[in-house]
Amino acid sequence: MKLQGAEAVVNIGEEVSKERVSKKYRHPDLDDRIREQRNSREAQSLRQAARAGANVPQVLEEKEYCLRMEKIDGNALKEQLSASNVEKVGKNLAKIHEADIIHGDLTTSNVIVSDEVYLIDFGLSFRSERIEDRAMDLHMFKQILESSHPEKAESCWEAFIDGYSGYEESEEVFERLEDVEMRGRYKT
C-alpha cells in the first residue's frame, strides 16, 4: 500500500519505507536540505525514543531522503479512541519528553494502536529542554481531541493526564499548558 502525504510517500509492505519527496516550490538546495534534515531528525528521534523506553517503530535503515522502519500492525488511534489507549499515549509521551524529545506533530493519526500504543511520524520532532515545548505537544493533542472527537474529549483528556503524570516535570508542564490556553483565549 502506498500513502502519499504532504511531505513523504509512505510504502507499507512487510516493512515501511518513508521517502521524502521533492517540493517544486522550494529552491532545490533548500529542498534537499529540508528533506535530508527531516529524514535524519526522524531517524534520530526514533532511536532515542526507543532507548528511552517508548514504543516506536524500530529504524531498519537510514538513507539520505528515505527511512526504512518496522511496520506496526494496527489502526490509527482516531479509529480506536478510548481512555485506556490515550492513557498510554500520555505514558509514552512522558518517556520521550524525559529524554528531551518533542514530538511536534502529535495527532490521533500519528499514534498506532497495536498490541501496545505506538507513536509514529517524528519528522517534525526536535530536541528541547524547555517546558514550553512540552506544553505545546500536549496543547496540540488536546485540541485535536476537542475538535475531532468532542464526545470523548473529556474522558480521554483525563486519561492522558493520568498517563503523563508519572513524569517528574508533569506538574510544571500542566501549569504551562494552562498559560498557553489562556493566551489562546485572549487572542483576538
Which residue's CB comes closest to ligand ADP? 5
Say whether residue 16 binds ligand ADP (CB under 6 A). yes
- Find all residues with CB under 8 Å of 130, minimum gap 6, and list them: none
Smaller CB separation from Mg ion, 92 or 110: 110
| DSSP-derived secondary structure letter, 63 | -
In angstroms, give the least distance from the CB of 83 to ligand ADP. 22
Only segment of 7-15, 140-148, 150-158, 174-182 that touches ligand ADP (CB under 6 A): 7-15
Smaller CB separation from ligand ADP, 80 or 165: 80
Site for Mg ion in 78-137 (CB under 5 A): 110, 121
- Work out which of 39, 49, 57, 173 binds ligand ADP, going by CB under 6 A: 57
Beginning with the edge strand found earlier in the chain, give each strand of the sheet holding 111-113 in spatial order.
Answer: 75-76, 111-113, 117-119
Query: Are 118 and 72 contacting, i.e. CB atoms less than 8 angstroms apart?
Result: yes
Cell 529524514 belongs to residue:
39
Planar angle of CA 30, 31, 35, nearest 5 degrees: 115
Say whether residue 30 binds ligand ADP (CB under 6 A). no
Annotation marks residue 105 as catalytic: yes
CA distances from 64 to 18, 20, 49, 94 (A): 11, 9, 21, 30
Which residue's CB comes closest to Mg ion? 121
CA distances from 33 to 43, 68, 126, 155 (A): 15, 19, 16, 42
Nearest partner of 38 among 51, 20, 25, 56, judged by Cα? 20
Please tell me which residue in 31, 32, 100, 105 is annotated as part of the active site: 105
Look at residue 72 and give the partner it binds from ligand ADP, Mg ion, none, a contact being a CB closer than 5 to 8 Å depending on partner kind: ligand ADP
Nearest partner of 136 among 88, 177, 93, 182, judged by Cα? 177
Say whether residue 47 binds ligand ADP (CB under 6 A). no
Smaller CB separation from ligand ADP, 17 or 170: 17
Q: Could you give the residue numbers annotated as active site?
A: 105
Residues at the site binding ligand ADP, with contacts judged by CB under 6 A: 3, 5, 7-8, 10, 12, 16, 18, 57, 69-72, 76, 109-110, 112, 120-121, 123
